[in-house]
Structure 1
Amino acid sequence: MRLLVVEDNRNLVSNLFEYFEARGYTLDSAPDGPTGLHLAMNHEYDAVVLDWMLPRLDGREVLRRLRESGSGVPVLMLTARDELPDKIAGFRAGADDYLTKPFDLPELEVRLEALVARAAGRGHSRVLQVADLKLDLATLGASRGGRELHLYPACRKLLEVLMRASPAAVTRERLEHALWGDSPPDGNMLRSHIYELRRSVDGAHAVKLIHTLPRVGYRLAAMTEPADTHEPASDPDNG
């Protein structure tokens, strides 16, 4: 099992590494919110142990941004806050479990095992679908009309975010954050990825699913009325 520990207490991190590595786990760590968010969004983890009080970006905000990016990785929030309103706030931000400090390491291990097992169980039936477009979150396979789609990782991530939000619109900023976190590249990289995704998903299909919303972003939905789904490369407002 591969874990990400986002915690600024060095002694606690050291204890976690010593305990879990002895049991065959692989761990990464981050000492602050932005670093933890970057690692969680750009690497595959079975679970994340996330402290609430973090430098630069608190745990609840890290979790909120992680969920907005479309990530479903199990997250256990670790904190000294033990009041009911705090626990409710953590769960509403997207936490899967909540453990207050101080705690026993065997209890943390059992809780993480339960989270990963539940996530694995859900994975077999976690299929997003919009019209005849499907994305299997367990296998990462995508298809439309029963025909397999070959997607680059960036396009697959964009597709997941758009399908999770469907039929609502997704802003450019949110899509850029899903791909690059807080450091999106200059230029029209997002537009290029959307172009590739649109070519794979819509292609020659009569019903287009990916729609550009000028000055807003994009939407993935089966629309019954004609819509402007293609964007001129020279128009920055349609990117």
Structure 2
Amino acid sequence: MSTERIQVLVIEDSHALRTSLAALFEHYGHRVDFAADGRSGLALALAQPPDVLVLDLGLPGIDGLRVCAQLRQRADRHIPVLMLTARDTVDDTLSGFEAGADDYLTKPFDERELLARCLALSRRHRVGEVCVLQIGTLSIDRRSGEVRRQGQLIELQQTPQRILLELAEAWPRTLTRSELIQRLWGDEAPMSDPLRSHLYLLRQALDKPFQRAMLKTVHGIGFRLEADE
């Protein structure tokens, strides 16, 4: 296992599972905090942002989907969220991603896989880079809105910039077309193709000045970013 040490917050109402996860993370030298309900877990995540949040769905008070959605609205940084749940249908998985989850693991699970996924998520969103997402030579400052590629400032209109941020936060996962539309406009999406013109503008600014395209269309599914190095 990696010698990297991370801070993990587990929001889980099962005492037995909390005990098991405490032993797992502490065995490998990681720091771990716990909350047994959604409301206190959300407050702890906002007050002391962890490197990774392991989030159960079936929580008392506020369920995991609402915790994740509120975290995305209120946090001043991107906190990687791994949803851990017994709900294993495709619809359940999509609901988790639409709420803002970065990864999804169903119970029962292999502890080594859980640990590996947490480490992967922590590397993608370093705590030292509080508001900066970095993918290859692309950097996005969530607070200032500044976007740079290969050190070059990229000027974007509001909607193309929001599309880029959604894709960057989901990276390396593909966002479906419907998922992206829902995140941008909710239930008030334009009647015509709402993404076409904005994706064109994003490609013109993000990819045209460079040799390698980062914005990829996954035919029949949606869109994703591809690192350029």
* Shorter-chain TM-score above 0.5: yes
2:86 pairs with one of 59, 62, 80: 80
- The answer to whether residue 58 in structure 2 is matched with residue 61 in structure 1 is no
Deviations 1:130-177 (A, max 9, x none): 6xx869xxxxxxxxxxxxxxxxxxxxxxxxxxxx99xxxxxxxxxxxx
TM normalised by structure 1 equals 0.53
C-alpha deviations, 1:61-116, integer Å up to 9, x for none? 00010001144100000000000000000000000000000001100001111111
Segments of structure 2 that go 5 or more residues without pairing to the other structure are 1-5, 148-160, 163-229
Task: Give me the whole-angstrom Cα distance separating, in 2, the residues matched to 1:129 and 1:111.
Answer: 27
Q: Distance in 2 between matches of 1:34 and 1:123?
A: 27
CA distance in 2, matches of 1:35, 1:66: 12
Determine which of 35, 39, 55 is the counterpart of 2:40.
Answer: 35
SS in 2 for 1:126: strand
Give matches, 1:1-239, under 5 Å. Answer: 1-70=6-75, 71-120=77-126, 123-124=133-134, 125-128=139-142
Moved more, 6-15 or 121-130: 121-130
Letter of the 1:110 counterpart: A
Q: Please give the alpha-carbon distance, in whole angstroms, between the structure 2 residues aligned to 1:110 and 1:129.
A: 29
Q: C-alpha root-mean-square deviation of aligned residues, in Å? A: 2.4
Residue 57 of structure 1 aligns with an amino acid whose one-letter code is I
Kindly indicate whether the alpha-carbon contact (under 8 Å) linking 2:10 and 2:33 is maintained by their aligned counterparts in 1. Answer: yes
> Distance between the aligned counterparts of 2:113 and 2:85, measured in 1?
14
2:88 and 2:62 map into 1 onto residues whose CA distance is 20
**Number of equivalences:** 136
The alpha carbon displacement at 1:126 in A equals: 2.9
The answer (yes or no) to whether the contact 2:140–2:146 under 8 Å persists in 1 is no
The CA deviation string for residues 24-66 of structure 1, in whole angstroms up to 9 with x for no partner, is 1000000000010000000021000000000011000000100
Question: C-alpha separation between the residues in 2 aligned to 1:38 and 1:58?
Answer: 14
> For the Cα contact (< 8 Å) 2:13–2:36, is it kept in 1?
yes
**Rounded Cα–Cα distance in structure 2 between residues aligned with 1:41 and 1:88:** 24
* Whole-Å separation in 2 of the counterparts to 1:126 and 1:11: 40
Quote the residue 2:223 is aligned against: none
Rounded Cα–Cα distance in structure 1 between residues aligned with 2:143 and 2:7: 29
Q: What TM-score, normalized by structure 2, do the two folds share?
A: 0.55
Letter in 2 for 1:72: H
Partner-residue secondary structure (3-state), 2:62: coil
Distance 1:79 1:34 in 2: 18
Aligned residue type for 2:101: A
Give the secondary structure class of the aligned counterpart of 2:49: coil
Code of the aligned partner of 1:95 = A
Q: Percent identity?
A: 44
Q: Measure, in 1, the Cα distance between the counterparts of 2:41 and 2:143.
A: 30
